[in-house]
Structure 1
Amino acid sequence: MNENQMEKSVNELKQSLQGKVLQRADEGYDEAKAIWNGAVTVLPALIIIPETAKDVQAAVLYAGKNNLPLSVLGGGHDWAGRALNQDGVLISLRKLKTIQIDADAKIAQVGGGVISRELIAAADPYDLVAVTGTMDVVGFAGLTLGGGYGPLSPSYGLALDNLLGVEIVLHDGSLVNANANENADLFWALRGGGGNFGVVTSMQVKLHPAKSIVAGMMFFPFDQANKVLRSYNKFIQSAPDELSIQAGIVSGPDQIPLLYLLPTWYGETNEGKKQIAAIEKFGTPVMTQIAPMRYKEVIALFDEHVGTGFPCEIQTRWLSDLNDHALEKIITAGAEKTSSMSAIIISHFRGAAARVNLTDTAFGLRKPHFMLEFVAVWEKQDSTNGQIHQQWVRDLSASLITDALAGGYPNILGPDEHQQISKAYGENLERLQQIKSKYDPSNMFKAISIPFSK
C-alpha cells in the first residue's frame, strides 16, 4: 500500500467509526500508546480507540484486510509490552469502560477496558466484591483471561473461575458470545488461554458478598528473612480459605532490603485478628500496619509503589514448596538486588482455586503451589545498566529450575521463555491449540504466551 492509498484507507476507517484513529503525528498518540513498561519503544502505525463493539469489529477487519499486525491494549500492564506492535494496528480499549452491577444476581457486566480498581469501586456500594489480582491498576480482562491470583483466590478461586461469559470479536470481525451454553469450547479456552482468540469487548463476572476484612503490611528485618519465610511456608499450606498471605522482598526507605508479609483475612473479624497475631510472631517486625478495611483498600496497598513508565523485566516460577535450596537462592537474590525498585513477590495458590478440576478450564496447574514473581525495575536514566538489572531476574529464575514445577504463570511469562511456555498449560495444551486453530487460524491475536499449532 503506497502513501496515498494508506491515507485514503485511514480516512475511510475514520469515517466508519464512532471512536478515534490516531497516527504517529497526531496529538494524543504518545498518551494513547503509554503502557507500564517504559522499556518498550515500538510504534504502531495506527491506534484505534473504539467506543463500541462495532468499532472493534471494524478495526479487526481493517487490520486483516491490510495484512497489518494487530495488538490490543486494555490496562497496558503486561510487562512484555505485547499490547503494542511495530507498524501495525493497536486497538486501545480504554473507552470501553462500562460497568453494570446486578446486585440481586451478584453479577457485573464489565467493559473490555476496565481496570480492577474501577470494577471494585463500582461493586463496593452494593457490598459486593469481584475476585481480582493484588494490584488495582491492572486491566481486569487481561488479568482474568490469563488467571488472576489474588487475595480472594483461596475463598473463590482465580479471577477466571468467576468468569460467566464473554462478548468477543473474532479474526473475521464476527461478534460472538462465549459462555457455558454458547461456543462452550471457546469459553473453556478463554479461561486460562488469555486474549489469544479475539478482542474481548465485554465480560460477565460473578460477584461475592463483601465480608469483613482485616489486612495490611508487616515488614521484617532482612536478617530474619529465612526464619520468617520458613514459618510462612509451613503456616500457609494448611491455612483456612479465609486467609491469604503474600510475601516478598522490597527495599525500605534507606534502600536496605526488607521482607514483607501481606496477610488478608476475609471473614469473621475476631478470628482474623487471631490468625494475623500468629503471623506476626513469625519474627519481630519493624513495622506493622494491620487494620479492618474494605477490599478496595486492600488492592490499593501497592499503589504508591507501582510507578508507570519505568523500564522493567519480570520472570516467574511455580514452586510446590519453599525448600531450603529455594529459600537460599531467593534470600541471596534479595540481598543482591541491583535496583532499589526491584522486588521478589510470592503468592500461594490453594483453597477454592485448587479445588477446580484441571480440565474444567484451560489454566494449567490446579495443585497447591507458590507463584513467584521476580520483578526488575530501574530508573529511566539508568538505561546503560539495563542489562545488569535484567540479568538479576534471569539468574534468579535460572537458579530455581531444579526446585520449580514445570511451566509458569502465563500472564507473566515473556514470549522468549519457550521451555516454560511449553509446559505452562499442562495436559490442557493440545485442546487449547485445537481451539486456537479453530477460532484464530491465522494467529492474528498474540496476547499471553501460548504455543501455536495449526
Structure 2
Amino acid sequence: MTTVESIARGQGLEPSRVVTEVDEATLPMWNAATPAGANVVVRCRDTADVQAAIRTARAAGLGLSVFSGGNDWAGRSVLDGGLVADISALDHIEVDVESRTARVGGGARSDLVSRETEEAGLTPVTGTVGLVHMLGLTLGGGYGPLNGRFGLACDNLVSAELVTADATVVRVDEQNDPDLLWALRGGGGNFGVVTSAVVRLHEVGPVYTGMIIFPWSQATSVLTGLNPLLSSCPDELSLQTVISSGPDGDPFVAVMPTWSGSLAEGPAAVAPVEALGDPIAVDMGTSAWHAAMTGVSASFPPGRHVRIRTRNVPDFSPRVVERLVTAGSSRNSPYSALSIHPFHGAATRIPLESAAFGERRRHQMVEIVGMWLSGDESGARDGEWADEVHRSLADDAMPGGYVNLLAADDRNQVRSAYGPNTDCLLAVKDRVDPTGVFTATPLPSDDRRAAHPSAPADTVRAR
C-alpha cells in the first residue's frame, strides 16, 4: 500500500475510491491535448468523500484539483502530479417546483439538468453545449441563449454547498456569507469544492431554434447585415453566429437563432435572419431546450486536440467583420471554428456590482476554437491560427474576456476580466482560501494587486 493510499484510508476513504495508477481512461478529458497526469484520484461519492480527499491532499503534501467532467479546454481540472477530487458521480438533480429551483450536484451535465427540470415545465439558464457540466459553467459566468431574458447562469445561482481548503462544509447564500456567494457568481471554482448548488428555474417551455446556413461567398454581407439585428434583439431572441465547415470541408457562415417567447411569434422573429442572404440550408423548428443542446454537442465530441482563445467585441464593425472573414478563410482544420455568443437584454441590465462577473455592456463574445485530430500536422497549425485570430481582434476588443475560456497566459485579459470587482473578489479569495489551495479559472495576478491593492481580507463588498 502506497503512502497516499494509507493516508486516504486513515481519512475514511474506501480503497476502491482511491486510484493511484492514473491513465487517460481514469479521467477522460474533452481536450485530448491535455492528458491526465495526476498522481492520485479520489472518486468522491458524497460530500464526506470530498472532505476526506482534501485532508488526504494536505497530509500527503499534494496539490489539489477538482474534476467534474473534464470539459475545460485548458485541462485545469487535472493538476499534474497532484491529487484530483473526482466529483463526477455527484450528479444528483432535485427539482423544487414550488420555489422554481433545482439543487444540482457538482457532476451534473447541463443537458441532463434541463431534461429533468423540463419534466416539471421549468428550464435552467445554461450554455449551448449539453455535455458541459452545469456548475462549472455557472461559476465562471455562463453565456447561453436565455441570457437575454434571465441573465447569465451565474446570475441564477441561489446558494451553494462548498467544502473549503480546511475541509469544512459551509452553506453559502444571501444570509450565510453573501460575499462568498457574490464571488461564486462569476469568480470560478477558486474558493472551494462546490459539491452542490441551487439554481433558479424559469417557465420557458419549448423554444423555436435551429440553424440558418449561408454560403461563404456571402460571409461579409451576412455579418454586416447581422449587426443591426444584434443591436436591436428583443430579450427573447438570441442570435449566435458560427463560422465553420460543412461535411464537404467548405466553409460557411451560419446563425443559430433561439426564440424563447411565444412559439407562434418565432418564425416572424427569425425571418429577418433568413433575409440576410440566400441560405443554403434552413433547419428551424420547435424543440425542448435539452434536445437542442444535445444536437449542438455532436459538433464538439471529446478526443480532439483543442486550443481556445476569446475576445469580446462591442459589435460587428467593418474591421471586425473583415477580421472574422479572414479568420474563417485561413483555417487549416475543418473542425476549427468561430462561435460567437451574444450578450444582451437582461444580462446587461443586471448591476455590475451584483456579481463578480466583470462585464455588463452589450457585446459579442468571440470563441476562437482551434480544433484538429491527433496526427493531423496541418490541422495542428490551428493552435497558432487561434492565437493569430486572437491578436487580430485585439484593437477592436473590449478589456478583459470570458474567464471560463481564458488561459493563465492571457495575462492582460485576466487583469481586466473583473474590472472594478477585482479588489473585492481577491479579498474574498484571501479570506476563504488564503494559501491558494484552489486554482481554477484564472484570477488577476499579483502585479494587478500591486497596482490596485486589494481591500483587507475582512472587508466586504458594497451592497
Q: TM-score, normalised by structure 2?
A: 0.94
Q: Which is worse superposed, 227-236 or 258-267?
A: 227-236
Which letter does structure 1 place at the counterpart of 2:427?
Answer: Q
Provide the rounded CA distance (Å) in 2 between the counterparts of 1:173 and 1:303.
35
Query: Are 2:165 and 1:171 equivalent residues in the alignment?
Result: yes
Shift of 1:76: 1.3
On the 8 A contact 2:372/2:380 being kept in 1, the answer is: no
Within a 5 Å distance, the mapping from 1:376-415 to structure 2 comes to: 376-382=370-376, 384-385=377-378, 388-415=381-408
Which letter does structure 2 place at the counterpart of 1:368?
Answer: R
**SS of aligned partner of 1:377:** strand
Corresponding position of 1:130? 124
Query: Are 2:299 and 1:305 equivalent residues in the alignment?
Result: yes
Distance change (3 Å), C-alpha of 1:46 and 1:236: same
Query: Are 2:458 and 1:451 equivalent residues in the alignment?
Result: no
Shift of 1:230: 1.2
Corresponding position of 2:254? 260
Corresponding position of 1:424? 417
Within a 5 Å distance, the mapping from 1:426-445 to structure 2 comes to: 426-445=419-438
Corresponding position of 1:182? 176
Shift of 1:286: 0.1
Q: CA RMSD in A?
A: 1.5
Which letter does structure 2 place at the counterpart of 1:308?
Answer: P
Match of 1:366 among 339, 360, 366: 360
Corresponding position of 1:326? 320
Provide the rounded CA distance (Å) in 2 between the counterparts of 1:10 and 1:157.
42
For each residue in 1:318-350, what CA deviation from the matched residue of structure 2 results, as whole angstroms up to 9, or x when unmatched? 111111111111101101111001000111101
For each residue in 1:214-242, what CA deviation from the matched residue of structure 2 results, as whole angstroms up to 9, or x when unmatched? 11111100111111111211111111111
For each residue in 1:425-448, what CA deviation from the matched residue of structure 2 results, as whole angstroms up to 9, or x when unmatched? 111011101110110111111111
On the 8 A contact 1:18/1:52 being kept in 2, the answer is: no
Which letter does structure 2 place at the counterpart of 1:132?
Answer: T
| Runs of 5+ unmatched residues, structure 2 | 450-463
| Runs of 5+ unmatched residues, structure 1 | none
Provide the rounded CA distance (Å) in 2 between the counterparts of 1:377 and 1:37.
9
Shift of 1:19: 6.9
**SS of aligned partner of 2:255:** strand
Q: Which is worse superposed, 443-452 or 126-135?
A: 443-452
Shift of 1:66: 2.1
Match of 1:9 among 3, 7, 10: 7
Query: Are 2:23 and 1:22 equivalent residues in the alignment?
Result: no
Which letter does structure 1 place at the counterpart of 2:110?
Answer: S
Corresponding position of 2:337? 343
Count of residue pairs the alignment pairs up: 447
Corresponding position of 1:296? 290
Query: Are 2:215 and 1:221 equivalent residues in the alignment?
Result: yes
Corresponding position of 2:461? none
For each residue in 1:247-295, what CA deviation from the matched residue of structure 2 results, as whole angstroms up to 9, or x when unmatched? 0101011101011110000111222110111210011100000011111
Provide the rounded CA distance (Å) in 2 between the counterparts of 1:60 and 1:10.
10
**SS of aligned partner of 1:94:** coil
On the 8 A contact 1:73/1:92 being kept in 2, the answer is: yes
Which letter does structure 2 place at the counterpart of 1:23?
Answer: T
Match of 1:85 among 51, 72, 79: 79
Within a 5 Å distance, the mapping from 1:236-275 to structure 2 comes to: 236-275=230-269
On the 8 A contact 2:5/2:15 being kept in 1, the answer is: no
Match of 2:28 among 30, 34, 49: 34
Provide the rounded CA distance (Å) in 1 between the counterparts of 2:8 and 2:306.
34
Shift of 1:118: 1.1
**SS of aligned partner of 2:375:** helix
Provide the rounded CA distance (Å) in 1 between the counterparts of 2:5 and 2:42.
15
Corresponding position of 1:146? 140
Which letter does structure 2 place at the counterpart of 1:415?
Answer: A
On the 8 A contact 1:326/1:400 being kept in 2, the answer is: yes
- Runs of 4+ residues deviating >6 angstroms: none
Provide the rounded CA distance (Å) in 1 between the counterparts of 2:372 and 2:340.
20
Shift of 1:5: 3.5
On the 8 A contact 2:373/2:379 being kept in 1, the answer is: no
**SS of aligned partner of 2:295:** coil
